[in-house]
Amino acid sequence: MAEVGAHLTAAPAGGDRPSVFEAVAQDSLMAAVKPALQHLVKVLAESNPARYGFLWHWFDEIYVLLDLLLQQHYLARCSASFSENFYSLKRIPVGDGRQQPLATAGLPKRQHWKSLLLLVLVPYLKGKLEKLVSSLREEDEYSIHPPSSSWKRFYRAFLAAYPYVNMTWEGWFLIQQLCYILGKAQHHSPMLKLAGVRLVRLTAEDIQALEKKWAETTSSQTHRY
């Protein structure tokens, strides 16, 4: 349903390039989904551990699988991630001088799979790394390993370096956004650059094609039942 109804959030036409507010807003939408769902699963697990405890234990893996299916669906049908489509945006290959294909045409295979992996795998690995850092800090605080052990020296060095690595990562995104605001970059996010795509607003033809495809899908499902 998001393919049709969510286009009410589209900004007035002023070129196909989305504003930085649109670009960052769609990033924030997807970032807010996981904590909300995680809180719901935690409440369920605490209320009935026998039935829902496994959801909490395997939450990251279940979520990444659901995210994979969701993003695959929207990339294939709308040439966009779920949140990008919600804000009436689509992905097109960088450097393609031809006329923009309709959103329903999907991305070329190379850009499609790179987009899917970067949308799903990078947040998953980043979340796992943050949990590992938190766990190592607890170990360091309670001195589980002897002070002279090589493992303790290693993870203390890792913990000391992590804030700088994280700062570099966040700085990379910030610099990319600043370049985008100043018109010096086609992408507001390094992930888009790595995927070889850029974001553009949906055109009237895109919206008509999406509405037609949604109507055809709904009609076929109705006739089936």
| pLDDT per residue as tens digits for the range 37-68 | 999 999 999 999 999 999 999 999 999 999 99
Nearest CA to 187 out of 74, 94, 88 is that of 94
What is the tens place of the pLDDT at every residue in 84-142? 999 999 999 987 556 678 888 889 999 999 999 999 999 999 999 999 898 888 776 66
- Cα separation of 107 and 26, whole Å? 19
pLDDT of residue 80: 95
15 pLDDT exceeds 90?
no
Binned at pLDDT 50, 70 and 90, residue 223 comes out as low
Number of neighbouring beta carbons within 10 Å of residue 130: 12
Least-confidence region, from 60-64, 121-125, 143-147, 194-198: 143-147
What is the domain partition of the chain in residue ranges?
20-140+162-216
53 or 5: whose pLDDT is higher? Answer: 53
When pLDDT is averaged across residues 77-90 and rounded to a whole number, the result is: 94
* pTM listed for this prediction: 0.82
When pLDDT is averaged across residues 64-74 and rounded to a whole number, the result is: 96
- Cα separation of 134 and 202, whole Å? 41
Least-confidence region, from 13-22, 27-36, 83-92, 202-211: 13-22
Q: Phi/psi at 200 (nearest 5 deg)? A: -135, 160
User: In the structure encoding, which two tokens stand for residue 88, read together?
Assistant: 């009436």
